[in-house]
């Protein structure tokens, strides 16, 4: 605790330092006299060896951290006095600093989100989307339920596979009507993406079974815009598309799955018998996503799915035209890198 006493009792500390240095100086003078020098010569020799008491004092002070703290305090007081004298300059300086700090923070946030960590998903480097390229270069991104289920059940190259069906959603409140994109997602989607909800829970397989109570998960953006980030909203029934649905979870701010405007997600139940073109959920096209198995390349996965999809040329010619090529697009390349076979 010596540093604390020196900080608050500077005069006492300086007096003690002066006494210690003078004691050492006198000791050196005594040693010089014992060596045969006169008193005057002994004092001169000792002062030369010390190099001056004030210089030694400065060197000792510089080794103490409280000296730097004291210097910082004096500099801060000087800055405040300067700013007080010229308030216009002070405002400009403060505004410039604030603008620089906020700009730097914003730029780093963009770099972090876009370049360093573009997707907050689990194993994002292995997360891919499926598409079909026709001979005329037209591309289909979504498929009927049966191809999705065959891809999911028969592939050998994916760790998991999940799907989403887009749907326009209407929410009516006392303030008016709001329309936005929603999506039905297959059970296990949120677990596969590795994203935990900010509030509540995500969709489970039980939620997707026929006869289950309608539930949905909400985006952070919708929660903020319409519900004032009220945590008590979890468990309440909200009418979407004229159907009362229970809100079971709110997703984190950065979470997005589906189109960028997707605001709600609901459980999707898929079977080969009940989900046919022109029936059930409209539009009934599944956007297919999945994680490649470790070590599997996109080219290998595309070839694997191509073999599964070959017979779809006759059953679903609209989605799988003659000479089609099935491809894989990598999420971490911003949906711009495709691998076709």
| Distance in angstroms (rounded) separating the CA atoms of residues 46 and 37 | 11
DSSP output for 191-255: HHHT---SEE----HHHHSTTPPPEEEE-HHHHHHHHTT-GGGTT-EEEETTEEEEEEEE--TT-
DSSP output for 125-142: GGEEEEEEE-TTS-EE-E
- According to the model, what pLDDT value does residue 264 have? 94
Angle at 63 between CA 58 and CA 68, to 5 degrees: 85
Query: Between the CA of residue 163 and those of 79, 188, 210, what are the distances in Å?
Result: 61, 10, 18
Per-residue pLDDT of the chain (341 residues; tens, 9 = 90+): 454 454 445 566 667 766 766 666 677 767 777 777 777 777 777 666 665 666 655 555 555 555 566 666 777 677 777 767 777 776 777 778 777 787 776 665 545 554 445 557 888 889 999 988 887 766 777 888 889 999 999 999 999 999 998 888 888 877 778 888 898 999 999 999 998 999 999 999 999 998 899 999 999 999 998 899 999 999 999 999 889 999 999 999 888 887 667 899 999 988 876 665 555 555 568 889 999 999 999 999 999 999 999 889 888 888 888 888 888 988 754 433 333 34
Look up residue 61 and give its two tokens. 């002070």
* 293 φ, ψ (degrees, to nearest 5): -65, 150
Q: What is the DSSP letter of 154?
A: H
Look up residue 294 and give its two tokens. 């470790």
Omega of the bond leading into 283 within 30 degrees of 0 (cis): yes
Domain ranges in the chain are: 2-85, 124-340
Report helix, strand or coil for 35.
Answer: coil
| Distance in angstroms (rounded) separating the CA atoms of residues 59 and 2 | 18
């Amino acid at each position: 605790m010596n540093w604390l006493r020196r900080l608050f009792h500077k005069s006492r500390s300086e007096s003690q330092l002066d006494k210690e240095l003078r004691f050492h100086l006198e000791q050196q003078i005594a040693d010089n006299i014992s060596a045969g020098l006169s008193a005057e010569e002994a004092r001169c020799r000792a002062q030369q060896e010390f190099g001056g008491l004030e210089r030694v004092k400065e060197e000792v002070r510089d080794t103490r951290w409280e000296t730097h703290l004291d210097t910082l305090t004096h500099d801060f007081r000087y800055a405040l006095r300067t700013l007080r004298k010229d308030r216009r300059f002070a405002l400009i300086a403060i505004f410039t600093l604030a603008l620089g700090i906020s700009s730097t923070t914003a730029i780093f946030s963009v770099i972090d989100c876009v370049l360093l960590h573009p997707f907050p998903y689990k194993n994002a480097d292995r997360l891919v989307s499926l598409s079909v390229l026709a001979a005329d270069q037209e591309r289909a991104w979504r498929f009927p339920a049966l191809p999705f289920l065959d891809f999911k059940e028969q592939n050998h190259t994916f760790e998991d596979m999940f799907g989403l069906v887009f749907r326009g959603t209407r929410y009516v409140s006392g303030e008016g009507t709001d329309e936005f994109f929603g999506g039905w997602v297959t059970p296990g989607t949120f677990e596969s993406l590795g994203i935990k909800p900010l509030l509540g829970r995500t969709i489970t397989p039980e939620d997707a079974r026929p006869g289950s109570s309608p539930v949905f998960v909400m985006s952070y953006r919708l929660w903020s815009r319409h519900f004032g980030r009220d945590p008590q909203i979890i468990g309440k029934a909200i009418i979407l598309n004229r159907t009362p649905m229970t809100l079971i979870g709110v997703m984190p701010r950065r979470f997005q799955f589906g189109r960028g405007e997707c605001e709600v997600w609901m459980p999707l139940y898929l079977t080969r018998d009940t989900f046919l073109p022109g029936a059930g959920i409209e539009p009934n096209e599944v956007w297919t996503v999945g994680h490649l198995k470790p070590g599997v390349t996109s080219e290998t996965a595309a070839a694997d799915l191509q073999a599964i999809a070959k017979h779809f040329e006759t059953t679903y010619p609209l989605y799988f035209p003659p000479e089609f090529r099935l491809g894989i697009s990598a999420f971490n390349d911003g949906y711009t890198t495709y691998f076709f076979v």
